[in-house]
């Protein structure tokens, strides 16, 4: 392992003082986040036109995706039609690894369903979901109206259902979807952080391009938990976009 720069060494009382100063900043950050969340809850909503998506049982109306609940969170998974699993988006793959059945059960306790939409053909996206071992409901928007169109995927949207009417209440993209990625928030608490070039870190801290570590040996990293089949290395679909958005 190469010799890396490290944080300076201090006495325990000095460390506790520095930690107390940081804690004050962390509490202020939490309160600022609370204020931001309050502003989100005051956003107006806009009606959705009737639209269908394709799932395992064919085309269904958007209302069915709510599964009887009042609210719905949808992640729009970027898709490259016809590409093999290893060529699909490592960033979108990263967003989904934490969205397991337990997380969805907690969301359901707050009357919220969660689903993934993608512009890819149903048979392709279903095959990818199954390859990854995910159980989240996935739907294809390949034949849906422009009401569900995104820039190219990677968007998170929220909806509210009132009877048979559906309203969009929120959307975010780029770093806004980090809310789904606990890996990043945990790394933010380590001494070297995410180790990406956009971060303001002390001299000598290890850094490389944002998102470049989400792909290893030609696959999105999470795929190596599902297979050991070697593939040719390829370019990242996300690192340059994240570097520009950081």
Work out the average pLDDT over 204-216. Answer: 94
Q: Is residue 245 part of a domain?
A: yes
DSSP character string of 18-69: HHHHHHHHHHHHHHHHHHHHHHHTT---EEPPP-EEEETTEEEEHHHHTTT-
Contacts of 204 (CB under 8 A, 6+ apart): 4, 5
Q: Is residue 15 part of a domain?
A: no
Q: Is residue 123 part of a domain?
A: yes
CB contact at 8 A, 204 and 237: no
CATH number at residue 56: 3.40.30.10
The length of the chain, given as a count of residues: 246
pLDDT of 116 higher than 90 = yes
Q: Is residue 17 part of a domain?
A: no
Looking at the structure of the chain, the number of domains it has is 1
Q: Is residue 37 part of a domain?
A: no
Task: Give the residue numbers spanning the domain of 213.
Answer: 43-246
Q: Is residue 2 part of a domain?
A: no
Q: Is residue 141 part of a domain?
A: yes
pTM for the structure as a whole:
0.92
Q: Is residue 21 part of a domain?
A: no
pLDDT in tens, 125-159: 999 999 999 999 999 999 898 888 776 789 999 99
């Amino acid at each position: 392992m190469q010799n890396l720069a490290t944080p300076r060494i201090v006495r325990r009382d000095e460390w506790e003082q520095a930690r107390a100063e940081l804690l004050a900043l962390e509490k202020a950050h939490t309160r600022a986040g609370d204020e931001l969340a309050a502003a989100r809850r005051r956003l107006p909503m806009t009606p959705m036109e009737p639209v269908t998506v394709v799932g395992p049982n064919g085309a269904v109306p958007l209302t069915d995706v709510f599964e009887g609940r009042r609210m719905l969170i949808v992640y729009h998974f970027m898709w490259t039609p016809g590409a093999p699993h290893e060529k699909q988006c490592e960033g979108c793959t990263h967003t989904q690894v934490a969205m397991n059945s337990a997380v969805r059960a907690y969301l359901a306790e707050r009357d919220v369903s969660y689903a993934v939409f993608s512009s890819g053909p149903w048979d392709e996206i279903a095959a990818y979901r199954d390859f990854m071992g995910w159980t989240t409901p996935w739907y294809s928007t390949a034949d849906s109206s422009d009401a569900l169109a995104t820039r190219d995927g990677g968007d998170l949207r929220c909806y509210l259902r009132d009877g048979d009417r559906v309203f969009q209440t929120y959307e975010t993209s780029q770093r806004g979807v980090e809310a789904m990625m606990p890996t990043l928030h945990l790394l933010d608490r380590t001494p070297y952080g995410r180790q990406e070039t956009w971060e303001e870190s002390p001299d000598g801290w290890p850094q490389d391009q944002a998102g470049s570590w989400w792909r290893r040996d030609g696959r999105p990293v999470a795929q190596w938990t599902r297979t050991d089949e070697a593939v040719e290395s390829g370019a990242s679909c996300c690192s340059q976009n994240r570097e520009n958005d950081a």
